[in-house]
Amino acid sequence: MVQPMKRIALVATVLAASACAKKEPPAPKDPAPPQVVQGPTAAKADPVNLPPAGTAPPPVTVDKEIPMWNVALKTLQGKDAKLADFKGKALMLVNVASKCGLTPQYSTLEALQKKYGPKGFTVVGFPCNQFGGQEPGSAQDIEEFCSTTYGVTFPMMEKVDVNGTGRHEIYKELTALADAKGYTGDIRWNFEKFVVSADGTKITRFHPQTTPDDPTVIAAVEAALPK
Residue 195 CB partners (closer than 8 Å, separation 6+):
59, 90, 91, 92, 203, 204, 206, 217, 220, 221, 224
CA dihedral sign of residues 225, 119, 46, 52: positive
Cβ distance 89 to 95 under 8 Å?
no
Closest C-alpha among 145, 156, 168, 160 to residue 75: 156
Residue 151 CB partners (closer than 8 Å, separation 6+):
42, 45, 110
Whether 100 is catalytic:
yes
Q: How many residues does the chain have?
A: 227
Which of 20, 100, 128, 146 is the catalytic position?
A: 100
DSSP secondary structure string, 181-196?
T---SS--STT-EEEE
Q: Where are the alpha helices (DSSP H) in the chain?
A: 4-23, 40-44, 105-116, 139-150, 169-174, 215-224
Task: Give the C-alpha separation, 45 to 111, whole Å.
Answer: 4
Which residues are the active-site residues?
Answer: 100
